[in-house]
Amino acid sequence: MLSAAVANEPVRRRRQVRGGEPMAYVDLGERLAAELPTHSAFGSELQNERSLLPRILYATPEMADFVKTGGLGEVAGALPRALRRHYDVRVLIPGYASVLAGLQGLTIVARLGAFAGVPACDLGYGTTPDGLGVYVLIAPDLYVRDGTPYGDARGDFGDNDLRFARLGRAAAELAAGLDPFWSADLLHLNDWQTALAPAYMAWLGIRRPSVLTIHNLAYQGLFPREHLGRIGAPDYAFQMDGVEFYGQLSFLKAGLYHASHVTTVSDTYAREITTPEGGCGLDGLLRTRAAQGRLTGILNGIDESWDPRTDPHLATPFEADDWKGKRANADEVRKQFGMAVSRGPLFAIVSRLVHQKGIDLSIAAAESIVAEGGQLVVIGQGEGRFEEALRDLAGRHPDHVGVHVGFRETEARRIFAGSDFLLMPSRFEPCGLAQMYAQRFGSLPIVRRTGGLNDTVEDGVTGFTFADASPRGLTSAITRAFATFGQKKRLNAMRRTAMSREFGWDQAALNYCGLYARAFGNNAARRWKAA
């Protein structure tokens, strides 16, 4: 953990030189945005044509450059970069120790005052090595802690309402001109941790469009009603058309109610969350948003590093039809996990070990995989009961089952490259990235037809799908996979097709461009043209 003193050591304060110098202005309709003096030390930024582009603030609680717990971190590392071709994009993230240590040229640009029970903090600005601008909330007491961004071994942090109210309020203030040299024209928010931003804008009278992306509706940021005052929310907000959710305060519902537009990370999931079965108690509000044309599914992408021809993590690079190269990775995985040499199929699980992911279904199917001459390799961590069950399974079948509780990037990538089939029988899956990684590396996913899995895996063409979240449903798909493994011509044809699928970020970025244009309104859409 980075101490408060160390965390603040590389931070310097920006000299705000404004008085008496000629200012440059950009017409943004609602406001005239005062910029830096054109001949100041910062003037070169203005002279860049990007200063004329619409400004998008991408607020996120995690980012793969610094810290990630799942798909949101991957998306936050990739999407802002894809959008930079079209907009002036900056990221806002809490000042975890890894963020403060990882940013270049970190400078304090503003002070955010305390409000209600939320403490004051500094707003820093720095860049990633490739030049992406990142705002960071410098508040060591809130963010420099052991554990994940959300909790430690004892559970969620008890002040998460304050920690992420601070994040949401900072996003709103950046839309209102907190940084005198850059203010957001649109907020792109992610999950409950940033979802208060549209509500704060409404409560404070700040008029800016906002897009809220749901990465997983099951996590809603629920807190006792008594916490309303300490996050600075007005009493009138605690109602059904507001932040109230079955007697509790819901950060996510506040965002769903106040955001200009709501997105989620696949078309199928966007439909599923409007149903009682998939809506987690928010289906009524989401059906209303859908009827208003304010709910959209945009499929996530994966970055260009997922290329078996160039990935430095692999034991042997390979491409389609180079199945010897793929087998070399499989042999390395077997060796690493202490499994027997085999020419049977290698099944894989690369996942959080939680109920949502159907881990219990995969464990139930493991015995039949072994009995039919297959092997299973697992990497991930999660619920203790599943970790223990997998360790027990490996203990009973040491030559055929390998398990690592934890996560290592190199290990995971080699498993994707070496495995023949990926097990992903999720009960629900907003988008999923593992099935895309697997296909790029010629591993055929075996998935339940839900969410993004339904949108990215074509049954019998790039993988195998099934409907029922049951051991029987999964086993039936595994049986088909074994049959295909015995038909090398068909197996290799499926591998080639899977590896040829395009899952890059370009199309997703263009879809967001269209959505932003709608959120800005027709006048802004005419004034700005995405590059």
Closest CA relative to residue 382, chosen from 419, 339, 351, 426:
351
Taking residues 471-477, report their average pLDDT: 96
pLDDT band at 37 (very low <50, low <70, confident <90, very high): very low
pLDDT of 525 reads: 42
C-alpha separations of 434 from 219, 302, 416, 453 in Å: 20, 10, 9, 10
Residue ranges of the annotated binding site for ADP-alpha-D-glucose are 68
Determine how many CB atoms are found less than 10 A away from the CB of residue 128.
Answer: 18
Closest CA relative to residue 209, chosen from 523, 518, 528:
518
| Mean pLDDT of all residues belonging to the chain | 90
pLDDT of 50 reads: 60
pLDDT of 52 reads: 78
Determine how many CB atoms are found less than 10 A away from the CB of residue 263.
Answer: 21
pLDDT of 187 reads: 98
Give the helix ranges, DSSP H, for 220-300.
Answer: 251-258, 267-272, 283-291
Q: What percent of the chain has pLDDT over 70?
A: 89
pLDDT of 520 reads: 86
- 133 pairs with which residues across the strands? 90, 127
For 188-246, the pLDDT digits (tens) are: 999 999 999 999 999 999 999 999 999 999 999 999 999 999 999 999 999 999 999 99
pLDDT band at 48 (very low <50, low <70, confident <90, very high): low
Angle in degrees, CA 192, 283, 93, rounded to 5? 10
For 398-446, the pLDDT digits (tens) are: 999 999 999 999 999 999 999 999 999 999 999 999 999 999 999 999 9
pLDDT of 5 reads: 38
pTM of the model: 0.88
pLDDT at 524 over 60: no
Q: What percent of the chain has pLDDT over 90?
A: 86
For 72-93, the pLDDT digits (tens) are: 999 999 999 999 999 999 999 9
Residue ranges of the annotated binding site are 68
Please state, in angstroms and rounded to a whole number, the distance separating the CA atoms of residues 140 and 143: 5
Taking residues 276-301, report their average pLDDT: 97
